[in-house]
Structure 1
Amino acid sequence: MRKLISLGLALVLFMSLLAACGQAATTEKGAASTPEAPKGSTKLVVYTPNSEDIINTLIPMFEKQTGITVELVSAGTGELIKRLQSEKANPYADVMFGGSKAVLLGNKDLFADYVSPNDKDLLEGHRNDSGFLTPFVSDGSVLLVNKNLVGDIKIESYEDLLNPKLKGKIATADPASSSSAFAQLTNILLAKGGDYTSDKGWNFMGELIKNLNGKIASGSGAVHKSVADGEYIVALTYEDPSASYVKSGGPVKIVYPTEGAVFLDAVSGIVKGSKNEENAKKFMDFIISQPAQDAFGTQLTNRPLRANAKLGTYMKPMSEIKLLQEDNKYVQEHKKEIISRYTDKFTELQK
């Protein structure tokens, strides 16, 4: 029996050797014996400045739907842009998930052209008009009002903020250091003056500054928190955190100024030279797909951009809000001038 096994093993070895020789021969002749191509990559490297809520909701959904494993690098938008610039010759990231449209537009050389087939389902005015940036949510300038403190004071518009009863009771941050405060400044200039240089808009801003009574919050987070906590009656803030308070049953309400609100898009882009470009395209398609957009509108407090996205009761339909369109290019190019003019006016009115 032992001898038979040995003979069998020898025969197997001999046949294996013949097969190997044959494979080597066909390889030399250039025949189709080249090893089978590896299956597509199942990896995606995502750089993101987004909140943990967004990440913890959307990324697991994407991984479950596609089987793709996401590696996350989280940091501020500015820091991530610098990293992308330093890695430009050999990109590590595949996707930049988040960041303001204005900032990413100024770094076109970092991103590859791609328009998702789902782009047609987004709201008009919030589609991929750059050819390389995919808008996925939007955030608007709003007024957050404490219902326990407001009493019979009418707050429906920016104009209402000039009410003497609100003097020193309005929470806001410094536009020079807070992006949401800067967005409110440009929103007000557009709403009250028609553009960013009109004396009419700046004169209104001066009257509003007087009613602030010199009170400026340390940052954007302190602005909405101070109203939710009952320290101030009304805040010049943005929709996302405001909707969070409403969703959790806080004593507040969101007011969309009757003069109009500007909604600024957060966008995503595929990094030029991405090593997992097909997976990156799938990610772009996913974040504006029906399931993802419904999650933004019902599980989170971010404004979805898909036209038929579901909304929680704490979110007002966009069709019921008067919208103003910001000139992103002008604002980005003249930001320093706008901030300087505001600072001069604020300083002058404190004397």
Structure 2
Amino acid sequence: MKKWLSLIAVAALSVGLLAGCGSSDSKNESASKDSGKLVVYTPNSESIINTIIPLFEKETGITVELISAGTGELMKRVQSEKSNPYADVMFGGGYSLYMENADLFENYVSPNDQYLLEGHRNTSGFATPYISDGSVLLVNTNLIGDIKIESYADLLNPALKGKIASADPASSSSAFAQLTNMLKAMGGDYTSDAGWNYVGELVKNLDGKIASGSSAVHKSVADGEYVVALTYEDPSASYVKSGAPVKIVYPTEGAVFLDAVSGIVKGTKNLDNAKKFIDFILFKEAQDAFGLELTNRPLRTDAQLGSHMKPMTEIKLLDEDKDYVRANKASIVEKYIDVFTTVSK
């Protein structure tokens, strides 16, 4: 895993930032009365942290103190510190969790928000999307042979019985995202018989095989244990980038992409610095770093992508009803368990 951008890359990006690199971006250059530091709580991967944070520090001169942990744990910490916040920014985590904790965040919409893709902008007023990850199929090219896998429907092929890697939606967030994606793609919503009938037929083709977790799903395909995985784009693109014998399939019925977001903690002692951070992660050079150096999908319309990433314009996208899914997650999981139990008898 690359821990730092090369010195040349950092220098090039920094020069671009200092020169403005396009007058369309705002860097929030208002005079700051802040302390010169920024406390960032983040559940993000080491690769994201070690790429984006040094760029921000070099561009702004602000020193970042990082606290890394799981999203839920960090959100509980922000809640417990509500009367005297330690964090300035929460960097990462899903939209739904931010919506459930709206009272913890300052309202701020970056001037750079306007350059993001439609459907991936800050409409809440406080949660800023910066990258997106989608439900995909990961196929082992050494094992696929002449079996066609282009869609969810193709996964019902009897030749794939017992050869599909999947995790449990009751315990894996990526598996739950796949479940709601399938329901939307195959039934049009989350309650239709058509969608749930498809899920039942897919469960039959899993042949009772459920992976221990989301990482085991994509790893099992990359290692040649399974032909295809129901997984997500970030680790899949990482395998492609490293030259593993795999390819990413975006279901022809449509893929749902869910955003990782960032927000300013309400009551922050370094508000100007926090705004600069939100502006920075939407700045073109930072977004290019997500798409070129990392395996995350940037959200700017003009962001560059490496060859390991497919342009969003070439993917059929589906919109998830995030409010409905958040409110009905328990019942969706319960329905899945019922279907799985019935089919597996």
> TM-score under structure 1 normalisation?
0.89
Distance 2:44 2:246 in 1: 25
Distance 1:216 1:231 in 2: 13
Tell me the alpha carbon deviations over residues 51-85 of structure 1, each in whole angstroms, 9 at most, x when there is no partner: 00000000000000000000000000000010011
Please state if 1:304 is matched with 2:298. Answer: yes
Please state if 1:204 is matched with 2:195. Answer: no
Count of equivalent residues: 314
- For 1:225, the equivalent position in structure 2 comes to 219
**Candidates 211, 229, 237, aligned match of 2:231:** 237
- For 1:116, the equivalent position in structure 2 comes to 110
- For 1:247, the equivalent position in structure 2 comes to 241
Within a 5 Å distance, the mapping from 1:53-64 to structure 2 comes to 53-64=47-58
Tell me the alpha carbon deviations over residues 201-249 of structure 1, each in whole angstroms, 9 at most, x when there is no partner: 0001000000000000000000000000000000000000000000000
Structure possessing the higher radius of gyration over alpha carbons: 1
Please report how far the alpha carbon of residue 295 of structure 1 lies from its aligned counterpart in structure 2 after TM superposition.
0.1
Tell me: CA distance 1:271–1:142, structure 2 relative to 1, closer, same or farther (3 Å): same
Matched residue SS, 1:334: helix
Matched residue SS, 2:221: helix
Within a 5 Å distance, the mapping from 1:2-41 to structure 2 comes to 40-41=34-35
**Percent of aligned pairs sharing the same letter:** 76
Distance 1:76 1:44 in 2: 19
Distance 2:109 2:327 in 1: 26
- For 2:45, the equivalent position in structure 1 comes to 51
Please report how far the alpha carbon of residue 40 of structure 1 lies from its aligned counterpart in structure 2 after TM superposition.
3.9
- For 1:140, the equivalent position in structure 2 comes to 134
Please report how far the alpha carbon of residue 350 of structure 1 lies from its aligned counterpart in structure 2 after TM superposition.
1.1
- For 1:176, the equivalent position in structure 2 comes to 170
Matched-pair contact (CA < 8 Å) for 2:135–2:256: yes
One-letter identity of the residue aligned with 1:126 = H
Please report how far the alpha carbon of residue 105 of structure 1 lies from its aligned counterpart in structure 2 after TM superposition.
1.1
> TM-score under structure 2 normalisation?
0.90
Please report how far the alpha carbon of residue 39 of structure 1 lies from its aligned counterpart in structure 2 after TM superposition.
5.8
Matched residue SS, 1:235: strand
Alignment RMSD, CA only? 0.8
Matched-pair contact (CA < 8 Å) for 2:136–2:249: yes
Tell me the alpha carbon deviations over residues 173-193 of structure 1, each in whole angstroms, 9 at most, x when there is no partner: 000000000000000000000
Please report how far the alpha carbon of residue 349 of structure 1 lies from its aligned counterpart in structure 2 after TM superposition.
1.0
Within a 5 Å distance, the mapping from 1:158-177 to structure 2 comes to 158-177=152-171
- For 1:275, the equivalent position in structure 2 comes to 269
- For 2:288, the equivalent position in structure 1 comes to 294
Please report how far the alpha carbon of residue 338 of structure 1 lies from its aligned counterpart in structure 2 after TM superposition.
0.2
Distance 1:49 1:171 in 2: 26
One-letter identity of the residue aligned with 1:310 = Q
**Candidates 313, 316, 337, aligned match of 1:319:** 313
